[in-house]
């Protein structure tokens, strides 16, 4: 019994690998794989944002992991490794802005890593105006800031 056969070529494997990469980054599926960066204190508000991804009219898939761990904890290096993997698989990083964002070391690291990996970055906020204390990376890197209500439209304008 044992399997064998198949006769697949190296080219076939390369095609499969390329297709897997496209799927992981949202390509070819009609859905965008979006990494969402936020301060841990904002997790309840961000849950509402994640809920939008389940709306049938919005083709978004959010990829995030709430990091409660301290930035300089013993597990921080492992967490950074896992976050880097997730960021590398996304097409866009969305930064949720609140009064806690500017002081979050994790958000700053995630945005820095997204920039290093060449990801598109969009910042969003609830309500009609962003919080007054925007993180410095917003201005430094010219990151577009949109209200939450406009996020899906902005993401589709890629």
Predicted confidence (pLDDT) per residue in 85-98, tens digit = 889 988 899 999 99
First to last CA, the chain: 50
Number of domains in the chain: 1
- Who wins on pLDDT, 23 or 154? 154
Query: Is 39 a member of any domain?
Result: yes
Short-list 88, 78, 102, CA closest to 35: 88
Query: Is 9 a member of any domain?
Result: no
80-110 exposure pattern, b = at least 16 Cβ within 10 A, e = fewer: beebbebbbbbbbbbbbbbebbbebebbbbb
Query: Is 8 a member of any domain?
Result: no
What's the predicted TM-score (pTM) here? 0.73
Q: What is the CA radius of gyration of the chain?
A: 18
CATH number of the domain at 46, please: 3.40.50.10140
| Domain assignment of residue 40, given as a range | 30-156
Query: Is 20 a member of any domain?
Result: no
Quick check: 13 pLDDT over 80?
no
Q: Report how far residue 158's alpha carbon sits from residue 154's, in angstroms, rounded to the nearest whole number.
A: 7
Query: Is 99 a member of any domain?
Result: yes
Residue with token string 């978004």: 60
Query: Is 4 a member of any domain?
Result: no
The 10s digit of each residue's pLDDT in 28-76 is 445 578 888 999 899 888 887 777 656 645 555 565 555 555 556 677 8
Query: Is 92 a member of any domain?
Result: yes
Q: Report how far residue 11's alpha carbon sits from residue 25's, in angstroms, rounded to the nearest whole number.
A: 21
Per DSSP, the three-state class of 115 is: helix
Query: Is 82 a member of any domain?
Result: yes
């Amino acid at each position: 019994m044992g399997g064998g056969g198949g006769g697949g070529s190296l080219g076939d494997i390369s095609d499969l690998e390329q297709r897997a990469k496209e799927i992981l980054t949202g390509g070819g599926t009609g859905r965008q794989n979006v990494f969402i960066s936020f301060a841990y204190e904002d997790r309840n508000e961000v849950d509402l944002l994640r809920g939008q991804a389940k709306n049938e009219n919005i083709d978004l898939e959010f990829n995030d992991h709430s990091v409660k761990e301290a930035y300089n904890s013993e597990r921080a290096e492992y967490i950074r490794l896992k976050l880097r993997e997730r960021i590398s698989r996304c097409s866009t990083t969305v930064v949720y802005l609140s009064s806690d964002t500017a002081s979050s070391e994790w958000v700053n690291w995630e945005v820095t890593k997204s920039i290093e990996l060449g990801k598109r970055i969009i910042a969003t906020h609830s309500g009609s105006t962003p919080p007054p204390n925007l993180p410095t990376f917003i201005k430094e890197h010219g990151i577009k800031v949109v209200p939450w209500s406009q996020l899906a439209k902005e993401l589709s304008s890629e």
